[in-house]
Amino acid sequence: MIAIIDYDMGNLRSVEKAFERLGSDAQITRDAGVIADASHVVLPGVGAFKDCMGHLEEYGLVEPIKRAVESGKPFLGICLGLQLLFDESLEDGVHKGLGLVKGQVVRFPAPHHTGHSEFKVPHMGWNSIKKEKDSLLLKGIPDGEYFYFVHSYYGAPTDMGVTLTTSDYGVNFTSSVETGNVMACQFHPEKSQRAGLKLLKNFTALRS
């Protein structure tokens, strides 16, 4: 069973529907026991970093998330769910994250700073990925494949060795990470059609 963590911040139903299309048993939940019993855990997210961390703390979900990661079960962060894994975010101040990936969440530079007026913030739409290392999460997904993005901030890892893919949007940024059983993508696989469903199918095939 795949536990999709519910903290009132994210496209939960669209993520659930994507797994249902694959024939997977997925459950939206904020129950610590359900998360502990799940074979896979997904942390989606849309909104402001500070608010999301506040909701995770309010619903008592920080420790269940960390225990799930420590258990070794496959864990997937999506969009803001990737950013929450980092040490801290610089969105509207400095805010502490879950600390599961070393580094900061930073904002795309304004177009006039990059000299590329075509790169509006937020970064919204289809963009390609460049594979930086091999991963079962990306099995059967070609280098240069396109995924759907909606974000103004991105994770900047301290150790680039955790970077799974990069993408270019005025700057070259980390678009997905993998460290042990923890994987996360800045793009939305549930909105990325065939390629996104392939990634989610690969995730469901992973074992502890």
CA-nearest of 27, 19, 16 to 201 is 19
The CB-side HSE value for 38 (13 A sphere, CA atoms) comes to: 32
Asked if 190 contacts 200 with a C-beta cutoff of 8 angstroms, the reply is yes
Positions marked active-site: 79, 188, 190
